[in-house]
Structure 1
């Protein structure tokens, strides 16, 4: 297993926003716990008033976007340590698979593990697994993300 290259977790939401191209209110990550060249562990505490919360529950599109933003956060930190001033923009090119096992309630602390499986030029195949604070898997996905300059 590769060594975590973060000296300490990044838990300041203002610092996280500097690492991703998304801006409020469309931000769905608020912490970076671990980073290696190919993996990352992110977090997000779901606010009650978030645009993707309906009747106190975080939506399916919210979970999928959270997983994509977890990859974006990994990329943003990678860019920072390689000297970039601002994060590169990207988008979901294709979703190969997604399984939503349970929808979390507002207030839940999500933890998402991302792993780069394959990369060709600006297209990255990534897997993600999102858990709640009890370690129960809520969703998994495999998607292709595309980075634009």
Structure 2
């Protein structure tokens, strides 16, 4: 990873929400640990009231949404550095690959590493790797996200 451009991790939920277009109850990130131009490291502690729980675990859809919002959080911080006052709206355009090895439980903290692979106009190809608290990879994906101006 290149030099981290964050002075300190962003852990305040209100500050994180300012960086993403998603709103409660559909927020699946709560920390930005590191930021470089092409990579980021995010976190999410799964709350008991999450809308995409399957019994006591984050569902597959929730895990995919977390990885996509990790990219959104990266993009939101990039916008702050560029002087933008609100985050770009976007959506998942294509999920090229996704592998889910384990579903995390309520209260677990996830760490996700995102890497921008390619960016052309408003389409970004990104890979993501999510680990549990023990450092075990529980999911990986490669997707294309589309920004809407």
TM-score of the aligned structures, taking structure 2 as reference length: 0.99
Q: CA RMSD in A?
A: 0.5
Deviations along 1:73-129, one digit per CA (max 9) or x if unpaired, are 000000001100000001000000000000001111000000000111110100000
Question: 2:80 matched to which residue of 1?
Answer: 80
Deviations along 1:44-76, one digit per CA (max 9) or x if unpaired, are 000011111121110000000000000000000
Structure 1 residues without counterparts, runs of 5 or longer: none
Question: 1:95 matched to which residue of 2?
Answer: 95
* Superposition map of 1:8-23 within 5 A: 8-23=8-23
Question: 2:69 matched to which residue of 1?
Answer: 69
Any runs of at least 4 consecutive aligned residues in structure 1 with deviations exceeding 6 A, and if so which? none
Is residue 113 of structure 1 aligned with residue 113 of structure 2?
yes
Q: Secondary structure at the match of 1:74?
A: helix
Query: How many corresponding residue pairs?
Result: 149
Distance 1:55 1:146 in 2: 31
Distance 2:139 2:46 in 1: 15
Distance 1:22 1:115 in 2: 20
Distance 1:49 1:92 in 2: 24
After TM superposition, give the deviation of residue 11 of structure 1 in Å: 0.3
Structure 2 residues without counterparts, runs of 5 or longer: none
Deviations along 1:27-58, one digit per CA (max 9) or x if unpaired, are 00000000000000000000011111121110
Q: Secondary structure at the match of 1:110?
A: strand
